A and B are shown apart, each in its own frame.
Chain A
């Protein structure tokens, strides 16, 4: 007679046959194989079996469940037995996940981020801080839940075993990746951050301050990086407002000085300028037509009984001073913006917002002032000359605008090269690459390609072909394929490789669509800024009742990959840096993947795109798993990381020219995002001519987005910025060594920009 049983946690409780019958009934009902009477009969047999097996000892839960499985089979309820086994397996997995989750939280709580690789998965989150840890604990919990409850079993398996990587998996049920914020549309008429209403800004300082707030607000509605595609065009409006006010004030002052007036002529001068604005049909700008200044001169001459020549001189002085004042204000505004984005917090203080700004093509005097000053602010660095980490600066290169000598913004392109050679930013995006140029319409900046986050690009629009623009759109989610593993599994058989690749593409497309279903069910109130303030395309037409399904279709679902180089090596023995044949094979593979995305896009009327994944955490995750499975395969799994996207491996010796030439064709294929890097030594990078020649080489070969890496070191003690080997070239100290006070005093005389405050901050 069974009297008691042992539970999983070791507790002994009274045996209750009804509980067994209830569990059996659930399995029978789930498979529509039987009723309560059947359940009772099976439960009786379970008891009989247990009494035979456990005459003296107490049975445990596992033994009872084994018996239930056997008796269901004995009674011919095979579907119910299967359902019961599945249920048991799921419960086991849930228990293991709980244990793993607790272990993870334990590591987050107790281990220093310098030791814990897991806590450094994303270098933009400080895993040692309270809020950073809270974010990581939340992410761990969400991931465990999402895997258990939201993924199909085949997707969960592929994710768990490293066939695919579902990015931002902690946000699976919550939000989308990123968006290009049209800052002008947001500012017009003012906006609400969700925590308060802000009036339309009226000068460049407010424009810049509110641009930072817009980025911060949107960062709390999405999990990816935030970007402004029209930073120059957007800020130019603020510059124009500042100039307009400064012009009237300086005009009034110049006039009062000329006539020695004690009275305040502000109102009169304002009326004069308004009259000229009405007469000429344009507002005061940095550059008005000749007719505008003549209209003002005429009015002034009549009103104040001065000659028109005198009036013209007053106007010229006012214009010059207004320009100087506006330039000063713009400079301060841009410095403030960069400081803000490097110091402001988002996501409960765990991160500085991951932000990007795109600029370079606005040729108006106001836009040019913005571009020049943001570049100079970037060049100057932060308070102690530190290199700014955020925002990512992206300079848009376009023939006829800034690429060639004689182009209106060529001087600013040259300046950008000087700055990037010192500060690693800006990166460059190339509007003349054929796959970007096809969307470009002169005079419509929204048709200029822009990037956000590490490399994301959104342009084509299958859902709405009239809206093939970069503004107000972004990525919804992306999942990456472990490409080298497919090649290893194919064992050199090209046909097998492509069959497996296609199956994996189908699996990922399905998983992205499953995730889209979750996203599509959300409402504007879930995203008070992104959707509530009309940042996302067409979200301003939504009501509270509407779900987001249709407007989200402006976004992209992206299939990413890692390790084209290792894939080629596994399949054919060499990578695309080693032979032109391999370059052709590489393009075949990515061409196949792109074709799959294009076909899916057409079939679904949604934007499915191919991504050269940034792969920060992923670079190590896949290869660690593959080393366990396959050992160290030379050229494939024998390093600590898989090569990023379609890159030539970082360790492979190659000229800058060849690297650019070989990687460019993949930019055309990866329509969800791409980037190429060139690594220069410090001396070459600081040669602006050499630096520019690399950027031009990228442009001429059809690179879409590129940047040039070079070492940027800084000694916080003496403030030296440049390349530091073992010894600082300025103060001569080694890392951690002290410097004599006499030497500090001597250096302060030689280098006035030296930080006044030295040491650890």
Chain B
């Protein structure tokens, strides 16, 4: 654990967390996913709410 002591550096090198459902369960960050599941996540398209997309 590294504390950020110097206020002027807050956030430097800190990424965003992106939580996604992998296969029924959630994974905190995408960097633990295997290559195939990463590709699959990248390809996911959103589903519209109207009856015909």
Q: Which of A120, A644, A740 has the most CB of B within 10 A?
A: A120
Contacting pair B53 A717 (CB below 8 A)? no
Name the one of A389, A614, A714 contacting B16, with C-beta atoms under 8 angstroms: A714
Contacts of B1-40 to chain A: CB distance below 8 A: 1-4, 7-28, 31-37, 39-40
Total A-B residue pairs with C-beta atoms closer than 8 Å? 185
Residue of A nearest to B38 (CB): A640
- Taking CB atoms, residues of chain B closer than 8 Å to A658 are 51-53
Contacting pair A738 B45 (CB below 8 A)? no
Contacting pair A741 B47 (CB below 8 A)? no
Contacting pair B27 A389 (CB below 8 A)? yes
Contacting pair B3 A114 (CB below 8 A)? no
Contacting pair A644 B34 (CB below 8 A)? no
Distance A713 CA – B14 CA, assembled complex (angstroms): 14
Distance A453 CA – B22 CA, assembled complex (angstroms): 12
Contacting pair B26 A425 (CB below 8 A)? yes
Q: Which of B12, B33, B51 has the most CB of A within 10 A?
A: B12
Closest Cβ of chain A: how far from B12's Cβ, in Å? 4
Q: Which of B7, B25, B48 has the most CB of A within 10 A?
A: B25
Q: Does A387 contact B (CB under 8 A)?
A: yes
Q: Does A499 contact B (CB under 8 A)?
A: no
Distance A712 CA – B29 CA, assembled complex (angstroms): 11
Contact with B along A629-657 (1 / 0, CB 8 A): 00000000001110010000011111111
Contacting pair B49 A690 (CB below 8 A)? yes
Q: Is the interface of A mostly helix, strand, loop or mixed?
A: loop
Residue of B nearest to A451 (CB): B24
- Taking CB atoms, residues of chain B closer than 8 Å to A651 are 43-45
Name the one of A641, A681, A758 contacting B36, with C-beta atoms under 8 angstroms: A641
Contacts of A702-724 to chain B: CB distance below 8 A: 707, 709, 711-717, 724
Closest Cβ of chain A: how far from B24's Cβ, in Å? 3
The stretch of A307-315, A544-552, A617-625 that contacts the partner chain: A617-625
- Taking CB atoms, residues of chain B closer than 8 Å to A757 are 3
Name the one of B3, B11, B36 contacting A619, with C-beta atoms under 8 angstroms: B36
Q: Does A196 contact B (CB under 8 A)?
A: no
Contacting pair A681 B17 (CB below 8 A)? no
Contacting pair B17 A117 (CB below 8 A)? no
Closest Cβ of chain A: how far from B38's Cβ, in Å? 8
Contacting pair A117 B35 (CB below 8 A)? yes
Closest Cβ of chain B: how far from A749's Cβ, in Å? 16
- Taking CB atoms, residues of chain A closer than 8 Å to B44 are 650-651, 679, 709
Q: A124-B25, A707-B21, A760-B2 are in contact. Are A716 and B49 (CB under 8 A)?
A: no
Name the one of B13, B23, B48, B52 contacting A614, with C-beta atoms under 8 angstroms: B23
Closest Cβ of chain B: how far from A144's Cβ, in Å? 21
The stretch of A9-17, A53-61, A182-190, A729-737 that contacts the partner chain: A729-737
> Which size class do B's interface residues fall under?
35 or more
Contacting pair A760 B14 (CB below 8 A)? yes
Name the one of A113, A655, A741 contacting B52, with C-beta atoms under 8 angstroms: A655
- Taking CB atoms, residues of chain A closer than 8 Å to B20 are 709, 711-712
- Taking CB atoms, residues of chain A closer than 8 Å to B28 are 386-387, 389
Contacting pair B34 A759 (CB below 8 A)? no
Distance A94 CA – B30 CA, assembled complex (angstroms): 37
Distance A455 CA – B23 CA, assembled complex (angstroms): 9
Q: Which of A615, A619, A639, A675 has the most CB of B within 10 A?
A: A619
Distance A92 CA – B39 CA, assembled complex (angstroms): 37
Distance A651 CA – B16 CA, assembled complex (angstroms): 25
- Taking CB atoms, residues of chain A closer than 8 Å to B25 are 124, 225, 354, 389-390, 392, 454
Distance A225 CA – B26 CA, assembled complex (angstroms): 13
Q: A639-B43, A684-B49, A759-B4 are in contact. Are A424 and B19 (CB under 8 A)?
A: yes
Contacting pair B26 A424 (CB below 8 A)? yes
Name the one of B15, B34, B48 contacting A620, with C-beta atoms under 8 angstroms: B34
Q: A640-B39, A653-B45, A709-B20 are in contact. Are A737 and B34 (CB under 8 A)?
A: no
Closest Cβ of chain B: how far from A186's Cβ, in Å? 24
Distance A145 CA – B2 CA, assembled complex (angstroms): 42
Contacts of A681-711 to chain B: CB distance below 8 A: 681, 684, 690, 693-694, 707, 709, 711
Q: Does A668 contact B (CB under 8 A)?
A: no
Distance A741 CA – B5 CA, assembled complex (angstroms): 12
Contacting pair B35 A640 (CB below 8 A)? yes
Distance A738 CA – B8 CA, assembled complex (angstroms): 8
Contacting pair A716 B14 (CB below 8 A)? yes
Residue of A nearest to B33 (CB): A123
Distance A760 CA – B29 CA, assembled complex (angstroms): 13
Q: Which of A640, A681, A694 has the most CB of B within 10 A?
A: A640
Closest Cβ of chain A: how far from B1's Cβ, in Å? 6
Name the one of A386, A616, A739 contacting B11, with C-beta atoms under 8 angstroms: A739
Q: Does A97 contact B (CB under 8 A)?
A: no
Contacting pair A679 B37 (CB below 8 A)? no
Closest Cβ of chain B: how far from A531's Cβ, in Å? 26
Q: Does A579 contact B (CB under 8 A)?
A: no
Q: Does A680 contact B (CB under 8 A)?
A: yes
Name the one of B15, B17, B32 contacting A123, with C-beta atoms under 8 angstroms: B32
Q: Does A744 contact B (CB under 8 A)?
A: yes
Q: Does A110 contact B (CB under 8 A)?
A: no
- Taking CB atoms, residues of chain B closer than 8 Å to A274 are none
Q: Does A126 contact B (CB under 8 A)?
A: yes
Distance A62 CA – B48 CA, assembled complex (angstroms): 65
Contact with B along A121-137 (1 / 0, CB 8 A): 10110100000000000
- Taking CB atoms, residues of chain A closer than 8 Å to B15 are 735-736
Contacting pair B7 A741 (CB below 8 A)? yes
Closest Cβ of chain A: how far from B19's Cβ, in Å? 5
Q: Does A659 contact B (CB under 8 A)?
A: yes
Contacting pair B26 A650 (CB below 8 A)? no
Contacts of A279-301 to chain B: CB distance below 8 A: none
- Taking CB atoms, residues of chain B closer than 8 Å to A273 are none
Contacting pair A655 B16 (CB below 8 A)? no
- Taking CB atoms, residues of chain A closer than 8 Å to B7 are 741, 744
Contacting pair B10 A759 (CB below 8 A)? yes
Contacting pair B14 A657 (CB below 8 A)? no
Q: A681-B46, A738-B10 are in contact. Are A123 and B27 (CB under 8 A)?
A: yes
Q: Does A263 contact B (CB under 8 A)?
A: no
Contacting pair B17 A386 (CB below 8 A)? yes
Contacts of A438-473 to chain B: CB distance below 8 A: 453-455
Contacts of A581-624 to chain B: CB distance below 8 A: 614-617, 619-621, 623
Q: A653-B45, A737-B11 are in contact. List 9 more A-B contacts (CB 8 A).
A: A225-B25, A425-B26, A641-B37, A654-B53, A657-B51, A677-B21, A709-B20, A711-B18, A736-B13
Using CB atoms and an 8 Å cutoff, list the residues of chain B in contact with chain A.
Answer: 1-4, 7-28, 31-37, 39-40, 43-53
A-B contact pairs, 19 of them (CB 8 A): A387-B19, A614-B24, A616-B22, A619-B36, A619-B37, A641-B37, A652-B45, A653-B53, A680-B47, A693-B49, A709-B20, A713-B18, A714-B17, A724-B18, A731-B11, A735-B15, A757-B3, A758-B11, A759-B14
6 tightest A-B contacts by CB?
A: A620-B36, A454-B24, A759-B4, A640-B39, A656-B47, A655-B53
